[in-house]
Amino acid sequence: MPFDALVAPTQPKLLLDVLTDLGIVPISRELLEAHKQAQLDRFAPSFWYRHQPLLPAALLGSVGCMAATGGLSQRMLPYASLFSDWLTLAWMCVIGLLIGAGVFRVRAGSRWEERSVPAEWLQGLGVPQPIAWLARDLCRQVPGAALILGELKQEYVVLDPYLLLERDGEQVCLGIWEDGRIVACATA
């Protein structure tokens, strides 16, 4: 029909096109993915976490070494039980210092979690001001947009967050920060 084009609904612009019209350059997906992988590598699980069955064996082995050291010194010097007691105590102190110094630290691995957040919560979530202002502006200017906060968590600690703007399955990264310091921010 000749008049079909006049009544056909217009297709909404892609999110990237809307941002281009507003003069905003988001963080590239490649940069975000590289950053996420680098942070996972940086906060990888410790040796003892990956090999948890070895930890009790190592600690029990150290107790066995203490007993063997005391026994050997007792056998070598039959009348020097005081020496063997001091040697055993010294060995226990060394093991205690190693544990206290964190040699046997068990640190779990990290994982990325994403959740939807309202624009009003950004200040309370610790999002840096430039990223929060940009996100609030875009939520007002882009109909149907939602904010997604991605957080690198290790056990219950948030290590490294980022903020995404999402609409109709499209996502763009607005900012990455760590300890209040902006790592990357979409530019206007």
Domain chopping of the chain, boundaries:
4-43+109-185, 47-100
Residue-wise burial string across 88-127, b where 16 or more C-beta atoms lie within 10 A, e elsewhere: beebeeebeeeeeeeebeeeeebeeeeeebebeebeeeeb
Lowest pLDDT segment from 11-15, 33-37, 165-169, 173-177: 11-15
* pLDDT winner (highest mean) among 13-22, 96-105, 161-170: 161-170
CA atoms within 13 A of residue 160's CA, in its CB half-sphere = 18
Tokens coding 81: 């039980």
Indicate if the pLDDT at residue 79 is higher than 90: no
122-155: pLDDT as tens digits: 888 889 999 999 999 988 888 888 999 999 888 7
Task: Say what the pLDDT of residue 57 is.
Answer: 73
Residue 39 CB neighbour total at 10 angstroms: 19
pTM: 0.65
Q: Are 149 and 135 in contact (CB under 8 A)?
A: no
Indicate if the pLDDT at residue 98 is higher than 90: no
**Average pLDDT, integer, range 70-93:** 67
Average pLDDT, the chain: 79
